[in-house]
Structure 1
């Protein structure tokens, strides 16, 4: 049994039931092991959770890097497409749902460790945005545009987390982006 297989199964359990609602027995069942066998790979539930967090972060970094590296078009098109890609990514990715859940609701005793991981990803995301905005004539400072777009994405991610229906989500993406773009360009 590979450690990554256990990590991926645990991540799915944490998405479904949160940290408190997930047991080691549940994780073991998900990978077809006895609970005691997990200890050959991980010291405890916290260790599994933190490994799932690092795994999810790596998946999110790959998503952002892939998107911004392969994106084509002008800044407006890239940003608009990004919001749609983020919506799609949330609906298909356990790692993103896990990432958002722990970002908003970390286990209290692991909150500082979660915050450290989150800040690293957030810095990378802002660097991608900064590079994109730096080559676009704006009405505002580049950092203001980065902060404003980050606010738009954070609000939309919260909507995704709270299971906003797809038709409402599409409407919110359109409205948020239109107001954002009008304010910076």
Structure 2
């Protein structure tokens, strides 16, 4: 049970304080163990971080596959639901995976940058592939699936940055304005 608690506390600390601000002492204190006890499970802070990162990416990739396996025929509302589900996953205090994903994808630890960026590229590539398959499956978008996918990802990126730096109100404001413009542009492309 302790290893699970260590990883959970590490996830919260890395998410709230970033890699550099998170300390093994704080993580240990949160779990109720001594810092040295962490070393019986992880060789270093780097190993703990990489383990947490890979588990978060795995969980979020499973979420993507689960979401995209339940497609319904109204593409507009389906994609809208997807964006709102991302927001919900970011805002949910108990589930800080999306906060971790966004913080570490945009601001990875400098000395782990190459490995972190590689792993997040795999995650975002999986999202891109799932979206592309979705657009290919729709007759109205099959010939422009790549453009539809890239434009959707661009609006999603912008909305997630608004959520990270502007909060829920700013996200909602930008989503309300941009979604209809995006969708109408997609239809008229």
Q: TM-score range, shorter-chain basis?
A: over 0.9
Q: Secondary structure at the match of 2:112?
A: helix
Partner of 2:133: 131
Q: How many Å separate the matches in 1 of 2:142 and 2:44?
A: 52
Q: How many Å separate the matches in 1 of 2:167 and 2:105?
A: 21
Higher relative contact order (CA 8 A, sep 6+): 1
Q: How many Å separate the matches in 2 of 1:4 and 1:129?
A: 33
Paired residues for 1:150-161 under 5 Å: 150-161=153-164
Q: How many Å separate the matches in 2 of 1:134 and 1:145?
A: 10
Q: Secondary structure at the match of 2:141?
A: coil
Unaligned runs of 5+ in 1: none
- On the 8 A contact 1:139/1:184 being kept in 2, the answer is no
Unaligned runs of 5+ in 2: none
Partner of 1:96: 98
Quote how far apart the aligned CAs of 1:139 are: 9.1
Partner of 2:47: 47
Q: How many Å separate the matches in 2 of 1:121 and 1:169?
A: 23
Quote how far apart the aligned CAs of 1:72 are: 2.2
- On the 8 A contact 1:10/1:49 being kept in 2, the answer is yes
User: Which of 137, 147, 150 does residue 144 from structure 1 map onto?
Assistant: 147
Partner of 2:83: 83
Aligned residues, how many? 184
Taking structure 1 as the reference length, the TM-score comes to 0.93
Q: How many Å separate the matches in 2 of 1:73 and 1:84?
A: 18
- On the 8 A contact 2:163/2:170 being kept in 1, the answer is no
RMSD: 1.5
Q: How many Å separate the matches in 1 of 2:122 and 2:142?
A: 28
Taking structure 2 as the reference length, the TM-score comes to 0.91
